[in-house]
């Protein structure tokens, strides 16, 4: 089955594709749909306003609407231009039905009577309600999408599908998401909208064999580690890596954060130059926005996703023009977490730290 994933950022693209196994992840929509396999596209709709987000999403949905399975990823905490993107994807896809199920039970993000919760707290009252870029103002999907009908895992969805429409699915467990997916006879009839929880449920039903083992990669002796965070913990972890991996090259933004866009641009250009001139043989980067900027500066158009060694971590090979160096890459959503996580990421590239 041809699977296409429309994502709002690079991290979401990797998270959405990973349950299906090996996939191509692109930084922009392709000129034409892929013939088979799994394709995830970073539409970069977190930046800019809802009109830009809707236009990009609608264009990509029209291009990829013929896929056997079409998934529009959304953040499980409802950040971003949720309503605009869902409506644009639904209209662009040409599908009669859209099923919205943003629950991600593994991260304690659930949907109960249409309300999104994080650790049993309505999401707008959680830390995500104070997000400095996309604060969540409303946890009730019935208010965000007033035209939607609420469905539950008890079997109400099949009775409603015949007439088409927009549906919000409750889910508190992965089993709930499995029942929601099983209630749809033909996945090609539906635009699916959800987070890694729904992606996992779709993969369990339509790609049950699971991903093959990732092929071996060459040992990284001079990896480039790129961190866009000024968090003191991230800086300390970089020092830890340097002690364990003498050949590693480290790049991070300065402590002065007065102009974040300019700092990110400079960081990406410095990283891209090192990748382009062959000075490094692997890349470890944290944060979807930072990763997208670094890959673009290096001349890459995306990466072949080979494995998800742990949640929020994508491992693969950079892709680009015909003569592009296919450098191994590990992308971590958010920060490193702890020292051991950082060292594990390096080991994924064959290092002996």
Q: Going from the first residue of the chain to its last (353 residues), give the mean pLDDT of each consecutive group of 10, the final group possibly shorter.
A: 93 93 94 88 92 97 95 95 97 96 96 96 94 88 96 75 88 95 90 96 83 59 79 68 74 75 91 88 86 93 90 88 88 69 65 51
pLDDT for the residue numbered 229? 67
22: its two tokens: 């090996």
- DSSP notation for 244-297: H-TT-EEEE--S--S-HHHHHHHHHHHHHHHHHTT--SEEEEESHHHHHHHHHH
- Rounded Cα distance between 331 and 226, Å, is 10
Query: What is the Cα 10 distance to its own chain's centre?
Result: 5
How far does Cα 92 stand from its chain's mean position? Answer: 21
Q: What is the dihedral of CA 289, 291, 297, 303, to 10 degrees?
A: -130
Sign (positive/negative) of CA torsion 116, 118, 122, 123?
Answer: negative
């Amino acid at each position: 089955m041809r699977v296409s994933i429309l994502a709002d950022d690079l991290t979401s693209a990797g998270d959405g594709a990973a349950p299906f196994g090996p996939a191509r992840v692109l930084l922009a929509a392709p000129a034409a749909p892929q013939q088979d396999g799994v394709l995830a596209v970073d539409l970069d709709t977190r930046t800019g306003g809802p009109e830009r987000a809707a236009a990009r999403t609608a264009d990509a949905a029209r291009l990829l609407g013929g896929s056997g399975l079409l998934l529009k990823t959304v953040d499980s905490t409802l950040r971003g231009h949720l309503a605009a993107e869902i409506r644009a994807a639904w209209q662009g896809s040409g599908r009669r039905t859209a099923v919205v199920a943003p629950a991600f039970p593994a991260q304690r993000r659930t949907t109960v009577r249409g309300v999104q919760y994080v650790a049993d707290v309505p999401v707008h009252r959680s830390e995500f309600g104070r997000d400095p870029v996309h604060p969540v103002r409303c946890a009730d999907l019935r208010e965000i999408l007033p035209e939607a009908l609420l469905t539950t895992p008890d079997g109400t969805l099949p009775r409603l599908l015949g007439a088409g429409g927009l549906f919000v699915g409750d889910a508190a467990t992965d089993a709930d998401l499995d029942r929601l997916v099983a209630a749809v006879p033909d996945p090609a009839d539906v635009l699916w909208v959800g987070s890694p929880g729904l992606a996992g449920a779709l993969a369990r039903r339509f790609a049950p064999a699971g991903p093959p083992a990732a092929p071996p990669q060459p040992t990284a002796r001079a990896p480039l580690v790129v961190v866009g965070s000024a968090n003191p913990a991230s800086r300390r972890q970089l020092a830890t890596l340097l002690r364990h991996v003498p050949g590693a090259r480290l790049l991070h933004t300065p402590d002065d954060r007065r102009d974040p866009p300019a700092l990110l641009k400079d960081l990406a250009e410095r990283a891209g130059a090192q990748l382009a001139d062959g000075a490094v043989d692997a890349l470890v980067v944290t944060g979807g926005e930072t990763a997208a900027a670094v890959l673009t500066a290096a001349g890459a158009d995306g990466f072949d996703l080979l494995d998800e060694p742990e949640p929020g971590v994508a491992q693969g090979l950079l892709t680009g023009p015909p003569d592009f160096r296919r450098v191994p890459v590990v992308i971590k959503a958010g920060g490193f977490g702890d020292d051991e996580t950082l060292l594990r990421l390096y080991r994924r590239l064959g290092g002996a730290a």
